[in-house]
Amino acid sequence: MSLVVSAGGHSFCLQAGKGFPISKPKGYKFGPRAALVEATPRVNGSPSSTSIQVLATDRAEELKAEARALARAADASVYSPQLLAKKYGSRPVKAVKRTLEILVALGTFALKLFLDQKNGTLDQNKRKRAAELRTIFTRLGPTFIKLGQGLSTRPDLCPPEYLEELAQLQDALPTFPDADAFSCIETELGMPLESIFSTISPTPIAAASLGQVYKARLKYSGQTVAVKVQRPGIEDAIGLDFYLIRGLGFFINKYVDIITTDAVALIDEFASRVYQELNYVQEGQNARKFKMLYADKEDILVPDIFWNYTSGKVLTMEWVDGVKLNEQAAIERQGLKLLDLVTTGIQCSLRQLLEYGYFHADPHPGNLLATPEGKLAFLDFGMMSETPEEARFAIIGHVVHMVNRDYEAMARDYYALDFLSTDVDVSPIVPALRDFFDDALSYTVSELNFKTLVDGLGSVLYQYPFNVPPYYALILRSLTVLEGLALYADPNFKVLAASYPYFAKRLLTDPNPYLRDALIELLFKDERFRWNRLENLLVQGSKDRDFSAKDALQPVLKLLLGPDGEELRTLVIKEAVRVTEAFTLCTFVDTYNSVPSFMRSLIFNGNGALAMSSAELQSMMELRDQVFRIWGLLRSSENFDPALLQPILQVSKLYLCCSLVTKVERDILRHRHRSHN
């Protein structure tokens, strides 16, 4: 049995009975442990006042340690296109040399693929070419390693041979000398290595694009940690690549008409994220924020950061044992189900993107681990991004509008998503959306493929003056990577099918005005209530593990009783009358049909009580059955209280009473008018 042990997004394999030894690096002699951990006293199972003071003291010390770490990272580099242009613009020889290096490497590979196709040996040489591509990406450095990492999670883009080879870019990269790493730790932290760790692995247990990781034991507490050390000269290598890529972006903006998105803006966004990864204190702060927001779920694990031993180029964090999500056999040997872990990842990712808007923008397999306890561990928080608040709600509404084929509403969503300026008329876009999605949505929700939808939507966007904001590109990358990971578990897995319950739940329960209006717009059309839409939302929303029938429709009920709910109250009452008529009529029909035929003429006097078309009768019976099903869905929830719907009944009674009073008043006035005449 083997186990992948990872920290900070880096992994290595342990064979059963052959664990990697924690030993002293050559030349270093470590002393005894310097401190013991004091237990926190408790009184009657609750923290005592002493323990509260201890916690407060610990928090204060943590803040001081974090402040010291920030001071150590004060000179960390920040992405600046102007500084890069100034630096490398004056060094044309180096820039041309790097350009030729990239063109020769990738051009040679492309030529080999062309010759393989021409000679009919493309399939035969797949494994060989895949290994060559991995070698090329490794040789070209961090920027291309990150590109390969992204491709390694896309089984729908790359053949299996390429996936297997490129997956090695996650944790099988060249290392740099250990002496340089240990010297960096001492220089950055300002302490001798032996005063920090009681033991440290003599060689790195994993190497990544930006640094390499050692396994160590803290001297003061004996806790096992992962120590990530940045590669020497990494800033210069990345800076040159982004200088050249940004120049390509200007070329694309000027000469490639098919790409309407600002390529330079996208490149700047990505480059700024990569530069943030170079600041390990920033990564530590990202991890702390991520843990605060999302580790409240018991199946999510985020490692702690040790601020006293963290700087701009050194990151010390809690050690995590786990198996990468793309290693299905290893996960199942631990008695875990991969699809359960993938579903947990999807739920957490949806919360990241659409609740708090703070999301992990680099979820490749090395950063998502299954722990032996069945938790999903998120690692490596260097690349994070945020979804604007308005866009979060627009995305939820957009998905629901798409599933329900409401293309007019879909087109209007692009204003809130900041894809279009408000002065652009969206009416010409509606037919294009209808043409594509009517075909794509001929499948059921469970058959929809996220990548197919993204690609199809992209073809629509290219035809109109859309501008995709940078944050959205990172969302698409995050979701497509997530779908790629899911496909490892099940080639037929559909992220949208697994995600839609979350969208339905949010639409039913979120009080945000945008979502509340989207729900009302979805449920009412031409002053008629669409019961099938409500039933579908309840069926899908109830599949979400956090769904609460108690909270369902609460936003609409609040609006119904509020000062701005007059129009909605009118619609609800009209529908209540229609439902009442349906139940009354269907009860009469059921009674009529239960009576023997020879008695019907005697009881109902043969007066044509059922004088309505079969289509009208069928519509009434379908309405009654739908209401019964929806009531059953609500009642089946453990925490549902029927009294929650009391406001609708009260409003209905009030409306009916007012209608009756108004009718009586009209009759009195009419009678008086006739008497006067």
* Residue 383 located in a structural domain: yes
Statement to judge: residues 439 and 350 lie in one domain = yes
Percent pLDDT > 70 in the chain is 77
Q: Are 482 and 349 in contact (CB under 8 A)?
A: yes
- Burial class for 357, CB neighbours closer than 10 Å (0-12, 13-18, 19+): middle
Q: What is the pLDDT of residue 440?
A: 65
Cα–Cα dist 287/358, whole Å: 11
* Residue 197 located in a structural domain: yes
Statement to judge: residues 89 and 130 lie in one domain = yes
Question: In which band, very low, low, confident or very high, does the pLDDT at 26 lie, cut at 50, 70 and 90?
Answer: very low
Instruction: Residue 145: give the domain boundaries.
Output: 81-171+237-273
* Residue 128 located in a structural domain: yes
Statement to judge: residues 188 and 66 lie in one domain = yes
Q: What is the pLDDT of residue 321?
A: 93
Statement to judge: residues 536 and 488 lie in one domain = no
Statement to judge: residues 528 and 549 lie in one domain = yes
CATH of the domain at 183: 3.30.200
Q: Is the pTM of this model over 0.75?
A: no
Q: Can you give the C-alpha Rg of the chain in angstroms?
A: 32
Statement to judge: residues 386 and 258 lie in one domain = no
User: What pLDDT digit, counting tens, does each position of 623-658 carry?
Assistant: 888 888 888 888 777 677 777 666 666 655 555 555
Statement to judge: residues 142 and 246 lie in one domain = yes
Given the structure tokens 């050559």, which residue do they identify? Answer: 26
CA distances from 375 to 110, 363, 609 (A): 42, 16, 64
Q: What is the pLDDT of residue 17?
A: 35
The sign of the CA dihedral 10, 13, 17, 18 is negative
* Residue 608 located in a structural domain: no
Q: Which amino acid is at 318?
A: E
CB half-sphere exposure, 475, CA atoms < 13 A: 21
Q: What's the average model confidence in pLDDT over 125-153?
A: 86
pLDDT exceeds cutoff 50 at 1: no
* Residue 601 located in a structural domain: no
Q: Can you list the alpha helix ranges (DSSP code H) found in 524-565?
A: 531-541, 554-561
Q: Work out whether strand 300-301 and strand 376-378 pair parallel, antiparallel, or are unpaired.
A: parallel
- 314 in helix, strand or coil? strand
Cα–Cα dist 349/361, whole Å: 10
Q: How many CB atoms lie within 10 A of CB 586?
A: 17
Closest of 348, 351, 256 to residue 302, by C-alpha: 348
**H or E stretch at 478:** helix 470-489
| Final residue belonging to a domain, choices 481, 510, 539 | 510
Cα–Cα dist 165/125, whole Å: 13
Q: How many CB atoms lie within 10 A of CB 55?
A: 12
Statement to judge: residues 150 and 217 lie in one domain = no
Percent pLDDT > 90 in the chain is 26
| Final residue belonging to a domain, choices 450, 483, 510 | 510
564 is catalytic: no
pLDDT exceeds cutoff 60 at 11: no
* Residue 656 located in a structural domain: yes
- 308 φ/ψ sector (left φ>0, alpha ψ -120 to 50, else beta): alpha
User: What pLDDT digit, counting tens, does each position of 558-604 carry?
Assistant: 777 777 777 787 887 788 888 888 888 888 788 777 777 766 665 55
Token duo for residue 19: 């664990």
Q: What is the pLDDT of residue 446?
A: 47
Average pLDDT, the chain: 79
* Residue 43 located in a structural domain: no
* Residue 10 located in a structural domain: no
Q: Are 359 and 352 in contact (CB under 8 A)?
A: yes
CB half-sphere exposure, 261, CA atoms < 13 A: 18
Beta strands in 262-410 (DSSP E): 300-301, 314-318, 320-321, 323-324, 358-360, 368-370, 376-378, 384-386
Distance between terminal CA atoms of the chain? Answer: 102
DSSP-assigned states of every residue in 129-149: HHHHHHHHHHHH-HHHHHHHH
Q: What is the pLDDT of residue 33?
A: 31
Active-site annotation holder among 362, 413, 510, 544: 362
* Domain count for the chain: 4
Angle between the N-to-C axes of helices 280-294 and 338-351, in degrees from 0 to 180, rounded to the nearest 10: 100
Token duo for residue 451: 């990548």
- Across 49-63, 70-84, 367-381, least confident range: 49-63
Statement to judge: residues 417 and 550 lie in one domain = no
Statement to judge: residues 503 and 537 lie in one domain = no
Statement to judge: residues 493 and 414 lie in one domain = yes
Question: In which band, very low, low, confident or very high, does the pLDDT at 675 lie, cut at 50, 70 and 90?
Answer: low
User: What pLDDT digit, counting tens, does each position of 287-346 carry?
Assistant: 999 999 998 888 999 999 999 999 999 999 999 999 988 788 899 999 998 888 888 888
Statement to judge: residues 499 and 622 lie in one domain = no
Token duo for residue 16: 């059963």
User: Which one of 38-42, 49-53, 658-662, 665-669 scores highest in mean pLDDT?
Assistant: 49-53
Q: What is the pLDDT of residue 646?
A: 67
